[in-house]
Amino acid sequence: MYPYRSLIITFLLLFSISVSSPVTLPINAADPIANAITFRLHIARAVGGIQAAYPGAQLHRIECTSTRGPLRTPLGLVDVRLFFANPSPVPDRRAILLSSRPRALEWGQWARPHYLPDPRPATELGLGDILTSDIMQVFRKMRQAGQDGAFRAVDVIKEEGMNEVWWQFQMSTRGQGWVWVGDESGRVEAEQDGRGSTNSI
């Protein structure tokens, strides 16, 4: 019985993520990028699909990496992992991972979700259901602030002490570690010389 139930849930989940979604994002009249079918919308659809199959699940971290080395545009960050907190009494089911299919070519190509022991540090607060900005918007903010280096990963997190969600670009430029961009504020902060101190830009 249980294997069949698992297969049915997985089918419904992947179907709900892949078909046309009723998800409606807040309109940003000043920036058409935010209203396109972009990274932000793919994430919102995936979150809706997971929450339909696993009621109570909450997105708490996004990790994106390049499968072909350092990049100069986020479009190549197609290895995406969504970590969800899951309110299960079973210890090994307290987190869910939804990741891109192997050799995915674009956003929104998801593999089957699976359970994890809770990977969330106690300091992580979760992201909510819908991001304010799209990855292309925060990328543009970073470039406008003069951060023009290549990067190989982006994490999206909110931790204790942070007043908003932050996008963290892992830079590949020698001597540079991370560049942070605020999801709501668009504020850019850069790590200095890879030593952990930051400059606001």
pLDDT in tens, 160-174: 889 999 999 999 877
User: What does the block give as tokens for 23?
Assistant: 């998800």
Give the residue carrying structure tokens 């046309």. 20
Q: What is the pTM of this model?
A: 0.80
- Mean pLDDT over 38-62 rounds to 93
Q: Give the Cα separation of 39 and 19 in Å (integer).
A: 16
- What does the pLDDT read at residue 17? 46
Q: Which of 168, 172, 174, 170 is nearest to 193 (CA)?
A: 174
- What does the pLDDT read at residue 9? 47
- What does the pLDDT read at residue 8? 45
- What does the pLDDT read at residue 72? 92
Which of 10-24, 112-126, 152-166 is predicted with the least confidence, judged by mean pLDDT? 10-24
- Mean pLDDT over 127-132 rounds to 86
- pLDDT value at 158 more than 60: yes
Helices 2-18 and 39-53: angle between axes, nearest 10 degrees = 150
* Amino acid at residue number 138: V
- pLDDT value at 157 more than 80: yes
Q: Which of 115, 103, 102 is nearest to 50 (CA)?
A: 115
Q: How confident is the model at residue 113 (pLDDT cuts 50, 70, 90)?
A: very high
- Mean pLDDT over 16-41 rounds to 50
Q: Give the Cα separation of 117 and 109 in Å (integer).
A: 24
- pLDDT value at 194 more than 80: no
Q: Give the Cα separation of 174 and 32 in Å (integer).
A: 34
- Mean pLDDT over 185-198 rounds to 72
Contact (Cβ atoms closer than 8 angstroms) between residue 158 and residue 164: yes
Contact (Cβ atoms closer than 8 angstroms) between residue 70 and residue 129: no
Q: Give the Cα separation of 68 and 77 in Å (integer).
A: 9
Q: How confident is the model at residue 192 (pLDDT cuts 50, 70, 90)?
A: low
Which of 61-70, 79-88, 116-125 is predicted with the least confidence, judged by mean pLDDT? 116-125
DSSP conformation class of 126: -
Contact (Cβ atoms closer than 8 angstroms) between residue 74 and residue 94: no
Average pLDDT, the chain: 80
Q: How confident is the model at residue 25 (pLDDT cuts 50, 70, 90)?
A: very low
- What does the pLDDT read at residue 7? 43
